Amino acid sequence: MDQINRQYGAQDIQVLEGLEAVRKRPGMYIGTTASQGLHHLVYEIVDNSIDEALAGRCTHIEVTINPDNSVTVADDGHGIPCGQHALGRSAVELVFTTLHAGGKFGGSGYKVSGGLHGVGAAVVNALSERLEATIYNEGFEYHIAFSRGDIAEKLRQIGPTEMHGTIVTFKPDPQVFEELDFDYVVLKSRLRQQAFLNAGLKITLTDLRPDPVLKKHFHYEGGIRSFVEHVNKNKTPLHSEVIYFSGEKENAALEVAMQYNESYNESLLSFANNIATTEGGMHETGFKTALTRVINDYGHKKNYLKDDEKLSGEDVREGLTAIISVKLTEAQFEGQTKTKLGNSEIRTMVDNLLGQKLSDFLEENPATGKIILEKSVLAARARDAARKARELTRRKTALDSAALPGKLADCHESDPNLTELFIVEGDSAGGSAKGGRDSRYQAILPLWGKMLNVEKARLDKVYGNEKLMPLVTAIGAGIGEEFSLDKLRYNKIILMADADVDGSHIRTLLLTFMFRFLRPLIDEGHVYIAQPPLYKMSRGRQVRYGYSDHERDRVLDEMSGGDPVVRSRIDVSRNKGLGEMDAEELWETTMHPEKRTLLKVTIEDAAAADEIFTILMGDKVEPRREFIETYAKSAVNLDV
């Protein structure tokens, strides 16, 4: 009791020296110690090399995943300075051991920089079991090594060289990270994006772990024009030319590339100093404002629109793929994650520059202008149809005393932060889920039959759809442009489908709908996928479950004590459907918060997510066939 009641005093104040703070709270610097944070280490080092490219000193960056899961990043830039700093240590030592030490705080080293906060190299060093740097700078080769942020080998000059650049090899610390295996596909997507954003820069990714070795080169002279072509490669463009504008003003530069396609979906990707601004910001606002104004002005001028007609921003962006890239000296990002750009002057710059250049383009290219206007006008008509359908739906709801869907078994808790909604495939599984749930905070919504593939439909087709609208009504936050997280009725939206091909198809249809029309649900981390067990193992009264082939084998070994004779006597059944489990089994294996496994749905790369939904659910068959042929050998848990 004395320990609990003693006063909070000066002795309780802790001072974390050097990189100790990073190791103590790694999530503050890299977001998470799971896979996403692991890959973030690579991005931080690569971003430093990208900054060299932005400064005009680097033409080639090589990233190598080594057999021991360490990563090497090499560039042909200037090389980190190795001379003595005024603080009494070498500049390279400061870069790797001191937070907020770098050439990005107002000196002449970098005009523009993605690594704005100056913590990248030091954070990677702090979270690495070992980090080594070889530097070619001002005619000499240098070497330095660290262990968990502390110097392991002092900086030494090896000898003269004509080379220039920096090579950093780091091995993530197993004491920090939950996962240590780098994903080649994840890194490939990120590095390809960086090559698009820096026209002419060569980036090479090599994975030395598999046999044969994987290697990919990225080099796009077309820059973000090539980026738009890549995003639209599985879609049907409405005009062959990618519209491209660029311009500079004071301490900022702007590039915009855009092309319309036949789809009903908008793909707007924005970047500031090569950092993906997934939450948008002032550059996106300026782009949207200018685009809407210019298309409306052009429509009125060419008599496509009546005087009182006005296209909305949603109308003029239907089927648009656009890349906005700004590079500025004093970028103001919100937080270390840098997902939103806050520079207000950029909004005015983008608005003015795009407004003028797009107006000129439409005047000079009337055929393309006509295509864009016709697409926008059709979108406006569909929006009007959607509005009427929405109002009709609302009137029906208002007249219906039970405003929520009839099949929804709601929970008793009214605080949305404490509630969960299970979207369950089929009435049979829905019945088991209703019987097994904790009705205080778990709600159940059964879905049945084949639902609409929204990749091939506009919003007006969603309203009134008997499969999708009950879901929209239950979630309560609206749809499309009207979506508001403030109205969300459940903190967790959990997709619970069978572990077979049909279940996978239903999950994909639901995720497509959420990605296209309920996107903030995913962006803000409210969507999860339940993991029902694949196997049930019984021996007498003992019953165990396995969630993968590996876990099945492990459980069988435990139940049999390693005796092969006992192991053929254990009854093993594969759970094909949720409906095959009774209420108690479903609760114990899939719904109980302390025993279940949930997969959180996140979007690390919006362009890659857009591409995969287009391939899997779009009109074109050939990309889908190619995808299936490529990944067929990776498929698991197929019910065949």
- Token pair in block for residue 443: 């709600």
| CA separation for the pair 316, 67 (Å, rounded) | 49
Average pLDDT of the chain, as a whole number? 87
Name residue, tokens 């104040």: 13
- 317 located within any domain: yes
**Sequence letter at residue 317:** R
368 and 460 together in one domain: no
- 576 located within any domain: no
30 and 141 together in one domain: yes
- Token pair in block for residue 545: 């479950």
What burial class does residue 542 get, using C-beta atoms within 10 Å of its C-beta: 0-12 exposed, 13-18 middle, 19+ buried? exposed
- 3-class state of residue 376 by DSSP: helix
335 and 299 together in one domain: yes
Strand partners, 246: 255
List helix spans (H) across 102-240. Answer: 120-126, 184-197, 224-231
Alpha carbon distances (Å) from 340 to 196, 331, 476: 20, 10, 27
pLDDT of residue 612: 87
CATH code, domain with 171: 3.30.565.10
Find how far residue 345's CA is from the centre of its chain. 27
pLDDT of residue 578: 79
- For 534: left if phi > 0, alpha if psi spans -120 to 50, otherwise beta; the answer is alpha
End-to-end CA gap in the chain: 63
- 3-class state of residue 226 by DSSP: helix
- 163 located within any domain: yes
- Omega before 212 cis (within 30°)? yes
Whether the Cβ atoms of residue 160 and residue 203 lie closer than 8 Å to each other: no
> Which segments of 126-207 are extended strands (E)?
128-137, 140-147, 150-160, 165-172, 202-207
List helix spans (H) across 170-281. Answer: 184-197, 224-231
By residue range, what is the domain housing residue 350?
A: 224-383
Domain end call among 172, 188, 218:
218
CATH code, domain with 464: 3.40.50.670
Sign of the dihedral defined by the CA atoms of residues 36, 39, 41, 47, in that order:
negative
Q: Residues 112-143: pLDDT tens digits?
A: 555 444 458 999 999 999 999 999 999 999 99
Other CB atoms within a 10 A radius of the CB of residue 119 amount to 21
For residue 339, what are the contacts with CB-CB under 8 A and spacing of at least 6? 276, 277, 278, 279, 333
Q: Give the CA angle between residues 473, 479, 481 to the nearest 5°.
A: 155
73 and 165 together in one domain: yes
pLDDT of residue 493: 97
- 578 located within any domain: no
Question: Dmax of the chain from CA atoms?
Answer: 85
DSSP 81: -
214 and 236 together in one domain: no
Domain end call among 200, 218, 236:
218
Residue numbers in the chain where pLDDT is lower than 50: 1-6, 8-15, 104-110, 115-118, 398-402, 640
378 and 426 together in one domain: no
- 3-class state of residue 234 by DSSP: coil
420 and 503 together in one domain: yes
φ and ψ of 596, to 5 deg = -75, 165
Exposure letters 13-23 (e unless 16+ CB within 10 A, then b): eeeeeebebbb
- 27 located within any domain: yes
| CA separation for the pair 424, 431 (Å, rounded) | 9
- 3-class state of residue 444 by DSSP: strand
pLDDT of residue 144: 96
| CA separation for the pair 434, 217 (Å, rounded) | 52
176 and 259 together in one domain: no
- Token pair in block for residue 34: 């799971």
Domain end call among 184, 218, 252:
218
Measuring CA to CA, which residue among 419, 414, 447 is closest to residue 526?
419
- 3-class state of residue 142 by DSSP: strand
What burial class does residue 503 get, using C-beta atoms within 10 Å of its C-beta: 0-12 exposed, 13-18 middle, 19+ buried? buried
Measuring CA to CA, which residue among 74, 42, 39 is closest to residue 181?
39
pLDDT of residue 391: 73
Measuring CA to CA, which residue among 198, 325, 335, 196 is closest to residue 272?
325
- 337 located within any domain: yes
| CA separation for the pair 80, 155 (Å, rounded) | 12
Measuring CA to CA, which residue among 26, 567, 576, 114 is closest to residue 329?
114
> Which segments of 500-589 are extended strands (E)?
527-530, 535-539, 542-546, 571-574
| CA separation for the pair 75, 269 (Å, rounded) | 27
Active-site positions read: 425, 498, 500, 502
How, if at all, do strands 542-546 and 535-539 pair? antiparallel
| CA separation for the pair 30, 39 (Å, rounded) | 9
193 and 285 together in one domain: no
Exposure letters 462-485 (e unless 16+ CB within 10 A, then b): bbebebbbbbbbbbebbbbeebee
Alpha carbon distances (Å) from 233 to 62, 616, 618: 26, 14, 12
- Please state the domain count of the chain: 3
Side-chain-side CA neighbours of 102 within 13 Å: the count stands at 25
Helix or strand holding residue 473 (H, E): helix 469-475
pLDDT of residue 83: 85
- 587 located within any domain: no
138 and 196 together in one domain: yes
366 and 409 together in one domain: no
pLDDT of residue 307: 87
- Token pair in block for residue 43: 């991005």
3-state helix, strand, coil in the chain (%, to 5): 40, 20, 40
Alpha carbon distances (Å) from 153 to 85, 124, 144: 19, 17, 6
Whether the Cβ atoms of residue 46 and residue 63 lie closer than 8 Å to each other: yes
Measuring CA to CA, which residue among 431, 453, 408 is closest to residue 265?
453
pLDDT of residue 452: 86
For residue 353, what are the contacts with CB-CB under 8 A and spacing of at least 6? 245, 247, 249, 254
Whether the Cβ atoms of residue 52 and residue 75 lie closer than 8 Å to each other: yes
| CA separation for the pair 548, 386 (Å, rounded) | 43
- 539 located within any domain: no
CATH code, domain with 252: 3.30.230.10
418 and 523 together in one domain: yes
